[in-house]
Structure 1
Amino acid sequence: MLLIQDLVEQAQQGDHVALQQLLHHYQPDVTRFARRVCATPEDVEDAVQEALWIATRKIGALRVAGAFSRWLFQVVKHECYRLMRQLRGNTSLSEQLALSMAQTDQSELSHDLALAISNLAPLDCQVLVLRDIQALTTPEVAAQLGLSQAAVKSRLHRARQQLRQTLTEQYCLG
């Protein structure tokens, strides 16, 4: 397969095969990015489809081939925001609050979540991390921590409840 920059240059010159290879290469990354930016799963699909369509139509206008990736991600971000604005006009106040939460800076949310997890009781924290973050099964967590499966389930439930309460209070979602 050709280098990305070569594909961009060929696509700019009208090579449809190069354009298809380029879009195929970027679609998974663009979709992951859109999941973090868009408000709903439906918006993710719409934003990615629209961004790829815009890229198809306007790649010839791109001045620097090396800027394609950054440009494409900006197009996706703008499409997500456009869809949120469009949805905002048709939503209630509570739905608008949820949309504004979707726009919250991801690093801020990650920081708040990490802080809330660190404030859990040590064993509850371990259970939550092993089960929900490292994706171990309940029997695996039980074996690793020397607990019964019932104790793991109980601690996991308690940890999730406490996280939910902390984040709900912090973001006024209740």
Structure 2
Amino acid sequence: MIRTLDFLFSLLGLVFGFPVLLVLCVIGLFDTGSPVFRQERVGRDKRPFTLVKFRTMSVDTASVASHLANSASITKFGHFLRRTKLDELPQLWNVLKGEMSLVGPRPCLFNQEELIAEREQRGVLKARPGITGLAQINDIDMSTPKLLAETDARMLASLNLTAYFKYIFMTVSGKGSGDRVPGKD
């Protein structure tokens, strides 16, 4: 049922959100010259997939977790995208393709070995990664791998349709600060 909702909502989001995506893409083109960001992430069962987001940092920024990034790398437009969570919109494509869900553990980088180990230990990597979830609405990010993995496992153990809609609604209504970058909280 959740996969059906993911497919339906991501398709509707991409179709009806296309004008917004286009405007953000054009503004991003002027901001960084490369508005879309692609990065290999850890997917379900540790399979790699290419995550798609709007670029919020300068093009030459090192590929590290947000909490390890330099805050000077975030552009002014990028700060707006992060604060409003609009940088996540292109991930609807990942959801449509079945690589992600709207609700699930945020996908990490393969170099985040401590987080991967914590998630493996708790069975979190058996689920599709998501755009939002319990950790995100509670401001728990990848800087605390054990707490994040525990929170992800707790969310997955109790994930039902009510919780699914609750996490989406809370994210859209502004709960949670998104990926933290030192100096930008």
More relative contact order in 1 or in 2 (CA 8 Å, sep 6+)? 2
Into which bin does the TM-score normalised by the smaller protein fall? under 0.3
TM-score, structure 1 as length reference: 0.25
Q: TM-score, normalised by structure 2?
A: 0.24
Whichever of the two has the greater Rg, that structure is: 1
Higher helix share: 1
* More strand by percentage: 2
